Amino acid sequence: MGGHALLHGDEEYNYSRMSSLENIPLLYEDDYLLAICKPAGLSSESGKALHPSAETCVQAYVREATGRRRIYVRVVHRLDRVSSGVLLLAKKREVLHRLMQQFEARTVQKIYVAEVVGMPPAPAGELMHYLARTADGRAAVVRGFPFEGSQQARCSYRVLEQREGRTRLELVPHTGRFHQLRAQLAHVGCPMVGDVRYGGPAWMPNAIRLHALRLQVQHPFEEKVLLIEAPLPKDWWP
């Protein structure tokens, strides 16, 4: 890709080193939105640092596909940089607004899969804790009772498989707190593989075994429900 410029708000940035979707699976696309399978290690959006991100890669893809320099593509929700899976992006401002309303109303259904060390308290159940960010904002503190600055964090889980001291879990978050799934599982003695920040064993740089498997959302302009699924990464166990 050449040294084109990426318009971001009222500023202009060079994106000559940003890729398109060559190595990022496109899961769904129409005139209003699209969904990709974000790989672990790639940020959902760049922010001020302007590093390549899922958002900038999709912007480059749409720019190439339409032949237009000025386009609108924005991430609707975020996945942690170290995780992978379904990521939704809007192609119009009104689409972004309507989809974000669904996320805020918690009508969007999300299912994750994680591989953890150890075994949770039961084969299936719900985890309910209180969570707050650390002072530097880079991690989460979890306790079983309310404390200053905390918010309730809830998720359901189900054991899918066990192998050699590790467990594959299906996770359904009922709240959307910072690092919620990672921190809650670590709190009950089941840190995710690769999640060194929360006590898990090392795996790959900038990657943990947490995958956004499935997302169900009402289409913002059409009378249909979208069910989008991203296959598990091939480098997880079969």
Q: Which of 10, 30, 31, 80 is catalytic?
A: 80
| Residue with tokens 């689409």, as numbered in its chain | 95
Q: How far is CA 91 from CA 64, 129, 154, 181, 217, in A?
A: 14, 36, 31, 29, 16
SS3 content of the chain, % helix, strand, coil (to 5): 15, 40, 45
Beta pairing partners, 22: none
195 noted as active-site residue? no
* Residue 66 CB coordination number (10 Å): 11
Nearest residue to 12 via CA among 44, 59, 58: 59
Tokens of 46: 């760049």
Backbone Cα Rg of the chain: 18
Per residue, the 3-state secondary structure of 132-174, as one string, reads EECCCCCCEEEECCCCCCCEEEEEEEEEEEEECCEEEEEEEEC
Pairing status of strand 84-90 against strand 210-218: parallel
Tokens of 40: 């672990």
Tokens of 163: 């192998």
Catalytic residue positions, numbered: 80
